[in-house]
Amino acid sequence: MDRAQQLSEFLQARRARLSPGDVGVPEFGGQRRVPGLRREELALLAGVSVDYYTRLEQGRARNVSSDVLDAVARALRLDADERTHLHNLARPTTARKRPSRPQQVGAEMRQALNALTGVPAYIVGRRLDILAWNDMARALIADFPAMPAAERNMARLVFLDEAAKDLYPDWDDKARDTVANLRLDAGRHPDDPQLASLIGELSLGSDDFRRLWADHNVRGKTRGKKHFAHPQLGDLTLDYVAMRAPDDPDMTMMIYSAPPGSDATASLQLLASLSPSQPAADETRANHNSQLN
């Protein structure tokens, strides 16, 4: 989880996906040993010296300005999440050598989760730890209370639980998004030893994770559609939206829903009847998982 190594590998991976023709710069000639832009070409496009860009890519540049990073981001055609990741790696705001305090689900987030009785919802924190959930999410995704606290983690569910491939028909897409979410978290918290331990566990336990982790793709949790193959409901497509906690940028509530009158809405109503008759998750449940953070 070395920050300089992450920065180096990220920039190399982003260079590799572009060619001179993609960005309209002249080639320097000679046989290319690796795919993508050369450092010289990227430096030319970003308006910096080759020596400076080389030091940046090797993690040796100090006090890199935001203007330079933005120029490199434009040259590499980075999207908003990738740009944020680049800044996190190259311009760390604080060094977190020790684990930060355990995350706690605040009163407002807990109240909102408790109010969502007709749709699946759960709260995910650092390292994609599942901090809290409602009974609809438990019925749709996994029986979270039955799991050991250390296994309540979305990345572990996706890569280490074979049931995930049955639940998610588009498992490849789910896997890519999960790794990209975790990469973004790693850029924010490169000195988190529990995150490093999780990445090591996933790398040892899943060839797919190891392959996708090497791609250095990053993506935040936003909105979209998710397909499920539920053992009782059958095929189900739901819309999802991610709502970030107002007081913790590393805590997000994931909410699944469906258009009124749709078949998916009828399926959610059936799911509600199948859900365990227990109160929605509150901070007590969330604290079962706080020992992980």
What is the pLDDT averaged over residues 44-57? 92
What is the pLDDT averaged over residues 196-201? 94
> ∠ at Cα 81 (256, 23), nearest 5°?
130
Q: Does 261 have pLDDT greater than 70?
A: yes
Of the segments 28-32, 148-152, 158-162, 283-287, which one has the largest average pLDDT value? Answer: 158-162
Element (H, E) at 257: strand 248-257
What does pLDDT average to over the chain? 86
**272 neighbors 131 (Cβ within 8 angstroms):** no
Q: 27-31, 97-101, 156-160: lowest mean pLDDT where?
A: 97-101
pLDDT score recorded for residue 100? 61
pLDDT band at 204 (very low <50, low <70, confident <90, very high): very high
Question: CB-based burial of residue 232 (10 Å sphere; 0-12 exposed, 13-18 middle, 19+ buried)?
Answer: exposed
pLDDT score recorded for residue 276? 66
Q: What are phi and psi of 204, to 5 degrees?
A: -75, -35
Q: Could you tell me the two tokens for 151?
A: 């296994």
Only one residue has tokens 């020790």, namely 98
pLDDT score recorded for residue 9? 93
What is the pLDDT averaged over residues 262-276? 85
pLDDT score recorded for residue 4? 86
pLDDT score recorded for residue 171? 95
| pLDDT greater at residue 239 or residue 32 | 239
Q: Does 37 have pLDDT greater than 70?
A: yes
Q: Does 280 have pLDDT greater than 60?
A: no
What is the pLDDT averaged over residues 222-250? 91
What is the pLDDT averaged over residues 40-60? 90
Element (H, E) at 237: strand 234-245
Q: In angstroms, what CA-CA distances link 149 with 3, 47, 209?
A: 29, 50, 22
pLDDT digits (tens, 9 = 90+) for 125-155: 999 999 999 999 999 999 999 998 888 999 9
pLDDT score recorded for residue 288? 38
| pLDDT greater at residue 172 or residue 20 | 172
Q: Does 177 have pLDDT greater than 80?
A: yes
Single-letter amino acid code for the residue at 136: M
Give the three-state DSSP class for 175: helix
pLDDT score recorded for residue 283? 39
Question: CB-based burial of residue 14 (10 Å sphere; 0-12 exposed, 13-18 middle, 19+ buried)?
Answer: buried
pLDDT band at 106 (very low <50, low <70, confident <90, very high): confident
Q: Does 279 have pLDDT greater than 70?
A: no
Element (H, E) at 127: none
Return the exposure string of 41-61: e unless at least 16 CB atoms fall within 10 Å of the residue's CB, then b: bbbbbbebeeeebbebbebeb
**20 neighbors 41 (Cβ within 8 angstroms):** yes
